[in-house]
Amino acid sequence: MSTAHASLVGRVALVTGASSGIGHATALALARQGADLVVTARRAERLAALCQQISTLGCRALAVVGDAAEEATAQQAVGLALSSLGRLDILINNAGIGDYKPFVETSAAEYDALLNTNLRSGFLFTRHAVPSMIQQGSGTVIFVSSVAGLQGAAGEAVYSATKFAQVGLAQSLDAELRKHNIKVSVVCPGGVKSEFALGHGRTQEFIDNSRMMEPSEVAGSVVYVCTQPPNVRIPQLIVRHMG
């Protein structure tokens, strides 16, 4: 084990949307704490490179290439964690897209894409992960939402609606699953410097010149939620930059 501080040794985590941004940074941050990982996203080459990075940290990593909004992807990823790594302790529902535009210019297809990627994916992965967590009597489920899930903004109506829905889902699951010793949290970051929404309301110039956070900074907050003492849970964490 090459990590200096490994508080998640022996734990297995599953991270969706792991090929870039917060998901990629979170997978590496969890590995630095000693967790073995299953990572999933649609870009095979990026996942392969991520698994190689994780292995250099002394942890096991397996990849599932697929769309997080497809039930088969969730079933395969959860099944791989259980069959190949022996358990599943942490689920990070991170997969998400942004599309910032006036409401009247938003198509039904764009609405469906936002809802499926941002909400359906989390439902599916949680639905298939929770039974094993109930059986083992422990687990942590984190939804990566947004400050847009706490307050709406112009040009973000549908995106914001999906993020509000994530918060509601997490709050309900917190109430339902706590009796099984399962912690459910929602992390609500502000702006992050990543590929998120690039070409869909954000430009590279805007990202480069902004005060937004680095993905690794948000990943640190996600790991903080994962490493609380057994009797401590963080139902909601808001993370903002200093801009």
Compute the distance between CA of residue 159 and CA of residue 200 in angstroms, rounded to an integer. Answer: 11
Compute the distance between CA of residue 136 and CA of residue 132 in angstroms, rounded to an integer. Answer: 6
Cβ count within 10 A of residue 188? 23
- Please confirm, yes or no, whether 159 is among the known catalytic residues: yes
Compute the distance between CA of residue 43 and CA of residue 238 in angstroms, rounded to an integer. Answer: 29
Compute the distance between CA of residue 53 and CA of residue 61 in angstroms, rounded to an integer. Answer: 9
Compute the distance between CA of residue 227 and CA of residue 35 in angstroms, rounded to an integer. Answer: 11
- Tokens in use for 8? 């998640």
Compute the distance between CA of residue 142 and CA of residue 23 in angstroms, rounded to an integer. Answer: 12
For residue 210, give every residue at least 6 positions away whose Cβ sits within 8 Å of its Cβ, in sequence order, or none: 191, 193, 243
The per-residue pLDDT string of the chain (243 residues; one tens digit each, 9 = 90 and over) reads 343 345 999 999 999 999 999 999 999 999 999 999 999 999 999 999 999 999 999 999 999 999 999 999 999 999 999 999 999 999 999 999 999 999 999 999 999 999 999 999 999 999 999 999 999 999 999 999 999 999 999 999 999 999 999 999 999 999 999 999 999 999 999 999 887 767 777 788 877 878 889 999 999 999 999 999 999 999 999 999 998
Q: Which domains does the chain have, with CATH numbers?
A: 12-239 (3.40.50.720)
